[in-house]
Amino acid sequence: MTTTSTSTRKTAVHKTATIRKAGPVAYLSLVLAGLVAVVPLAVVLLASLKDAAEFRADGPFDPPSDWLNFDNYATALTDGEMGTAFLNTTIILLFSVTGTIFIGSMTAYAVDRFRFRLRGTVLAAFLVASLVPAVTTQVATFQVIDVLGLHDTRAAAVLLFTGTDIVSIYIFLQFIRSIPHDLDEAALVDGASRWTIYWKVILPLLKPAIATVVIVKGIAIYNEFYIPFLYMPSRDLGVISTSLFRFKGPFSAQWEVISAGVVIVVLPTLVVFLLLQKLIYNGLTAGATK
């Protein structure tokens, strides 16, 4: 934003640039905030590289004696079953995100490209549902999953992630409006069916919206605790969140192993964030403001 100040106003340019620089107090507060964000995480990284005796003897800020001691990571991956957890999370993620993309884009296509009776009612049904926080209805959703015979299966999580995501529908709806109708109509004149138009014309043009949904949804599912915790209690169905949660019992006195588990969970997030920063910022803005 400040970079555009070079434009129209001739003499004021120099002045604006200097006025709008941050002062020392501003930098101090930024550095402080940066430390508040980083320090709690950094000490966990330090702890994860220490062995049990070292951890007991050291304070949290002491560096580990061996920076390449990954024993705790091995323990977390094997005894802590984090390998299985990553596999389960990946499976659920793939199915749920794919499902969400189809559900969201089909809904958006139907609602935006057709005029039909009850269209307003359909829209209202989705709008009202978006106001209901999922956390409040789990007591009853649990019975639905139970009746369907899906309790303690991955399908339960996939269906819930796919079926209750109204935000994604809104992202698609917002985006599909900017796709010119001429494209559909031209295809229609050429004799394409509505399904072909959806599949061959609309879906490819929705790519930016799909990217947004993949990111917003992907992060949400990777971090979700409540749904797998309630619906997938079996050990071998553990996902990232629930498997890490189970560290609480067996490793309760072994902070160095728990710390390694935490780092294993946070690291992929950090890598994805560093690679896709822009997309993530934009995606969250689109997701939160619907």
Partner 1 sequence: MTTRTAPAPTAPSRRSVPVRHRKRRAGALPWLFLALPLLLLAVFTYIPVISMAWYSTTSWNGVSKRMPFVGVENYVEIFTRPQLFEVFLVSLYYVVAAFLQLAVALYFATLLSFRVRFGNLFKGLLFFPYLINGVAIAFVFLYFFRPDGTLDSLLEFVGLSGHQWLGDPDTVNYSLAGVSVWRYTGLNFVLFLGAIQSIPSDLYEASDMDGATRWQQFRHIILPGIRPVVGLMSILALAGSLSVFEIPYIMTGGANGSRTFVIQTVDMAFRFDKVGLASAMAFVLLALVLLVTWVQRRLFPDDRSTTP
Residues within window 212-241 making contact with partner 1, judged by CB under 8 A: 219, 222-223, 225-226, 230, 240-241
Rounded CA-CA distance 146/154 in Å is 13
Rounded CA-CA distance 43/180 in Å is 53
53 binds partner 1 (CB under 8 A): no
With beta carbons less than 8 A apart as the criterion, state whether 76 and 260 touch: yes
Interface region with partner 1, contact rule CB under 8 A, candidates 38-46, 64-72, 74-82, 203-211? 38-46
149 binds partner 1 (CB under 8 A): no
Which listed residue (84, 153, 164, 196) binds partner 1 by CB under 8 A? Answer: 164
With beta carbons less than 8 A apart as the criterion, state whether 184 and 124 touch: no
249 binds partner 1 (CB under 8 A): no
Rounded CA-CA distance 279/3 in Å is 21
Closer residue to partner 1 in complex, CB, 20/200: 20
Total number of residues that touch partner 1 (CB under 8 A): 112
Closer residue to partner 1 in complex, CB, 20/207: 20
Return the residues of window 77-116 that contact partner 1 according to CB under 8 A.
102-103, 106-107, 109-116
Rounded CA-CA distance 283/70 in Å is 35
Closer residue to partner 1 in complex, CB, 19/68: 19
Return the residues of window 176-195 that contact partner 1 according to CB under 8 A.
177-178, 180-181, 185, 188-189, 194
Interface region with partner 1, contact rule CB under 8 A, candidates 27-35, 72-80, 90-98, 203-211? 27-35
With beta carbons less than 8 A apart as the criterion, state whether 89 and 243 touch: no
Which listed residue (65, 78, 90, 137) binds partner 1 by CB under 8 A? Answer: 137
Which listed residue (28, 41, 87, 94) binds partner 1 by CB under 8 A? Answer: 41
Which listed residue (57, 68, 139, 253) binds partner 1 by CB under 8 A? Answer: 139
Which listed residue (28, 74, 125, 271) binds partner 1 by CB under 8 A? Answer: 125
Closer residue to partner 1 in complex, CB, 45/91: 45
Q: Which of 120, 235, 113, 219 is nearest to 168 (CA)?
A: 219
Q: Which two tokens stand for residue 289?
A: 């403001």
Rounded CA-CA distance 171/286 in Å is 7
Within 10 angstroms of residue 275's Cβ, the number of other Cβ atoms is 10
CB of residue 262 to partner 1, shortest distance in Å: 5
Long-range contacts of 200-205 (CB under 8 A, 24+ apart): 202/105, 202/109, 202/113, 202/176, 203/105, 205/179
